[in-house]
């Protein structure tokens, strides 16, 4: 399978998972908001802008309770969205 086909397949899987999650959330009467995460991400983004990736990871961990690996991955994903970091 070539890369393009694999990407298309993964996009379809992600879409299906999103629809299933939406169904479960509606069934349980829940709504999603990542507002609670916003301060953690803003503090982490500021650390990244200052060139301090470690401080960004630490801020994310403290705010979310996430593990080191998960926090590192989240910060690296955030870093890709910030211009000039």
The model's pLDDT over 5-59, given as tens digits with 9 standing for 90+, comes to: 999 999 999 999 989 999 998 999 987 766 666 777 888 999 999 999 999 999 9
Q: Name the DSSP class of 37.
A: T
Same domain, 43 and 75: yes
- Name which residue leads in pLDDT, 1 or 22: 22
Same domain, 43 and 25: no
Q: Residue 48's CB: how many other CB atoms inside 10 A?
A: 22
Same domain, 73 and 42: yes
For residue 28, the enclosing domain spans 1-32
> What is d(CA 20, CA 60) in angstroms, rounded to the nearest whole number?
28
> What is d(CA 63, CA 44) in angstroms, rounded to the nearest whole number?
10
Domains of the chain: total: 2
**Contact call for residues 68 and 78 (beta carbons, < 8 A):** no
The pLDDT assigned to 19 comes to 93
Question: Looking at the whole model, is its pTM more than 0.75?
Answer: no
Task: Quickly state the pLDDT bin for 63 (edges 50, 70, 90).
Answer: confident
């Amino acid at each position: 399978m070539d890369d393009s086909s694999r990407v298309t397949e993964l996009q379809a899987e992600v879409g299906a998972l999103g629809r299933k999650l939406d169904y479960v959330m509606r069934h349980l009467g829940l709504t999603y908001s990542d507002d609670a995460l916003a301060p953690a991400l803003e503090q982490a983004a500021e650390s990244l802008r200052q060139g301090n990736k470690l401080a960004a990871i630490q801020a994310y961990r403290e705010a979310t309770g996430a593990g080191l690996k998960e926090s590192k991955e989240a910060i690296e994903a955030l870093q890709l969205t910030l211009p000039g970091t």
